[in-house]
Amino acid sequence: MTTEFTLTTERIDDFPLLLATLQRLDLPAILDRHLTRHGLQQGLSWGRIATIWLAHILSQGDHRKLPVQAWVRQAGATILRITGLTELTEWDFTDDRLAIVLRRLSQPAAWAAIETELGRNILRVYQLTPERVRLDATTISGNHAGGADSVFQFGHSKDDPTLRQVKVMVATLDPLGLPLVTEVVAGNQADDPLYVPAVDRVLQIIDGFGLLFVGDCKMSALAIRAHIHQLQQHYLCPLAQTGTTAQELPEWVEAANQDAAILQAVYIENQQGERKLLAEGYVFERTIQAEIAPVPAATHAADLTPDPAPTMAEWTEQVFVVRAESYRQSLLAGLDGRLQRATAKLLALTPPPARGKRQIQDEVALVNAAAAILTTHDVAEFLTYTYERREKRTTKYIGRGRGNPERPKREIVTVRYQMLTVLPQEAAIAAHQKTLGWRAYVSDTPAGQLSLEQAVLTYRDEWIIERGFHRLKGVPLALAPLFVKNDDQVVGLTNLLSIAVRMLTLLEFAVRRQLKQNQETLTGLIANNPKKGIDNPTTERLLKAFDEISLTLMHLPDRIIRHVTPLTALQTRILALLGLSVAIYTRLAEN
């Protein structure tokens, strides 16, 4: 007797791992507490929908709304078993439903509350001790129509200045690069006004004093530094090369060049164990004064009491005058290249007379052309040139016919200018080279808590926040290009994907911390070298190890038989390092 059956297969890969981790952070409940739901709404809550969608985005590397419904249809059995839900329908994941989720996530008050609760939960679950927070902004460009009130605007961009963009302000926890705060604003908004709100929101997540905020030169505005100091926190940032700093920095650099003994060298060790000069510099202290606006108090609308006047605050800050060696070498190479190119172009102004070689016959034209070259290459102070007027006299007979001794003649004088030499001004070049590579950093952290070496190494970790930007805008989240156009959808999707960046960061941190504590390495993560053990795997490599895991369902007349691809030793070990049980996979096969 032949028994008929139906066989279906679901690719589950890393989805159970991702969904289990999101539930471990209590993300569905956090979202449900802050995303409003209509009283007559049926089906899954917004928190459940957003969590399952987020796991799909991380697993599939696709933030589009359209494929989610079909994916839920084929992965329904897996989702039900992992989440413990009693029912699940694909209609909870239609394009319209997901658009509502993004609209809810775009509301500033709701998103701020979600970030605050989620941030506190992450710190508790992963037992993190915050010491430093790094702030920076990035832009996301796209072919969008924009408009006067749109978040898509033209602005300064490192991506493509011909496209409209949105700006994302991010505060991350060092040394993880874990996003704590994100804010999406119009692409033409300046960075400066974004720092104070970001700092205030971070302090709603992290309690205590003495936190070090690290930012770029746009954070060095006196009002921002005063605000951080008033909150009894600390700052570290380079000074912008504007205002009084542009006048003071040459004096600070001259002091270093006059007395090399005051310089402290900072070294790093490469993978070969060789010490390499990273930077050198010196530090001094100065007193800063700034007006600090009082924190506004909640008052009744009829209260006509005038606001309290700003107070004058005074504090001491360290100034680190630092010359980064790699930056200096880059500037030296750039200067040398400009000198060579300018020299070649100056000599090429006056080529030897030949067919097709245009000659300069006017002295003013030669001087103007030379000045343009020197200005273009920014070497007017470092190169001088000499030239001469050359004349060629030719005698010709007047009129037609053969020449004879009595025939009248005339003399034709052809004038051309010849560039003779281009000479480098060695003294000026040497003096300029001594000024290259210097920057000034400031911090109100006491000298006993932040040395010059610590300041240099701390700021040098700027790549940590940039790595999060790469994940957000590139693989695996691919926010750029944006497949949504309405402002609320853009803001909501960016906020949702910032949670995904948190997930990628936490998975990587948890595994690396456990490997370091156990003094072990993982093998099998590198495809072309499977025997090589590494102790710093990326999340992308860890999730890649869970490819090709499937759930097979055999539908018989009287029962359903389930089978999950057996986990490898590597997959089992990764789950253990993450503090997860293999049961998140094996229970999918329970019949």
Please state, in angstroms and rounded to a whole number, the distance separating the CA atoms of residues 530 and 522: 10
For residue 265, pLDDT over 70 is answered with: yes
Contacts 24+ apart (CB under 8 A), 249-254: 249/321, 249/438, 249/440, 250/435, 252/319, 252/321, 252/438, 252/440, 253/321, 253/434, 253/435, 253/438
pLDDT band at 14 (very low <50, low <70, confident <90, very high): very high
pLDDT at position 476 is: 85
Query: In this structure, are residues 10 and 588 in contact, taking their beta carbons and an 8 Å threshold?
Result: no
Q: Give 145-203 pLDDT, tens digit per residue.
A: 888 889 999 998 877 888 899 999 999 999 999 999 999 999 999 999 999 999 999 99
| CA nearest neighbour of 475 among 522, 544, 524, 545 | 544
pLDDT in tens, 272-285: 888 999 999 999 99
pLDDT reported for residue 299: 46
Say how far apart CA 332 and CA 566 lie, in whole Å. Answer: 58
Q: Among 104, 59, 95, 101, which residue's Cα sits nearest to residue 78?
A: 59
Which of 208-217, 393-402, 552-561 is modeled with the greatest confidence? 208-217
**What's the confidence (pLDDT) of residue 306?**
64
Structure tokens at 148: 């006067």
* Candidate from 116-130, 209-223, 413-427, 473-487 with smallest mean pLDDT: 473-487
Q: Kindly state the DSSP code that residue 566 receives in the 8-state scheme.
A: P
pLDDT, one tens digit per residue, over 227-244 is: 999 999 999 999 999 989
Mean pLDDT score of the chain, rounded to an integer?
Answer: 91
Q: What is the DSSP letter of 91?
A: G
Would you call 44 exposed, middle or buried from its count of C-beta atoms within 10 A (0-12, 13-18, 19+)?
Answer: buried
Q: Which tens digits make up the pLDDT trace of 294-304?
A: 655 544 445 55
Sign of the Cα torsion 100, 101, 106, 112 reads positive
pLDDT at 373 over 80: yes
pLDDT tens digits for range 538-548: 999 999 999 99
Query: Where does the pLDDT of residue 135 fall: very low under 50, low under 70, confident under 90, or very high at 90 and above?
Result: very high
CA 434 to chain centre: 31
Rounded to 10 degrees, the C-alpha dihedral 256/259/264/265 comes to 80
**What pLDDT score was predicted for residue 301?**
47
